[in-house]
Amino acid sequence: MTNFFQWWKTLLYNFIASAIFYTTVPFPNINGLDFQGVSRFAPLVGLVIGGILGLFDTSLNYLSVPVLTRTALVICAGIALTGGLHLDGAMDTSDGLAVGNPERRLEVMADSATGAFGAMAAIAIVLLKTVALTEIEAHRWLILMAACGWGRWGQQLAILRYPYLKPTGKGAFHKEAIRSYKDVIPGLLLLLSVSGLLWLIDSQQLFLAITMIVAGSAIAFLTGLWFNHKLGGHTGDTYGAVVEWTEALFLCVLTGF
């Protein structure tokens, strides 16, 4: 019994460490947190973020806030919840990819100054998310959870499948945490459960549930693959770019339902 409680305590502490790393949610000081394995809990943190955004969206709807304003507030709240961590990575990645000389791309990405292409990428991502979510009427809270979850599962895939380009970079320890496919399976099962929950809530939405699984997994895989193709590997910035572009493209796909 003692071992069981110790296991749950360790699991909880690891999740809290991941939440502290990936969000701006204030937590009390807890001794003994291990941040080396935070990426293992990224999809779960994504689902929690999506759940918070979904609750915020539902509350605004209850207050009769118009859908476009409500959606813009939800997207801004998402940026605030993550401290712009992933969006900043997407911006730096865009600045790097804009450089014609491949050997200078990592150098440009490491520069904290935002260039024109980074600004355009941020505008495109926020615009796509806002417009797409505005077009989605039903089950917005669950779709927000799925979007945030698949984005972070895509990050896990990128960590697992592709080389890390900066051994001394801030994201290098992620590579040590995600070593085999068994490390990404729990996140996949969580996301499959979210789609299954949609079907349980509304039995007529089976096709939408299947689409969420197919689109989410495919986009998560392809975004990581594309950045690897362009750079020959990944960095902490591209992990953020995978999250942001997966979320945006996933929401765009679901506007058809």
User: What is the pTM for the complete model shown?
Assistant: 0.95
Structural domain boundaries of the chain?
Answer: 41-256
92-123 pLDDT, tens digit per residue, is 999 999 988 877 888 899 888 889 999 999 99
The pLDDT of residue 4 is 65
The pLDDT of residue 18 is 95
- Which of 112 and 1 is assigned the larger pLDDT? 112
The pLDDT of residue 180 is 93
Lookup: tokens for 223: 């975004």
53-66 pLDDT, tens digit per residue, is 999 999 999 999 99
The residues near 234 (Cβ < 8 Å, ≥ 6 apart) are: 158, 159, 162, 163, 164, 165, 224, 227, 228, 242
Terminal alpha carbon distance of the chain: 48
168-187 pLDDT, tens digit per residue, is 776 788 888 999 999 999 99
Banded pLDDT at 125 (limits 50, 70, 90):
very high
- Which of 36 and 243 is assigned the larger pLDDT? 243
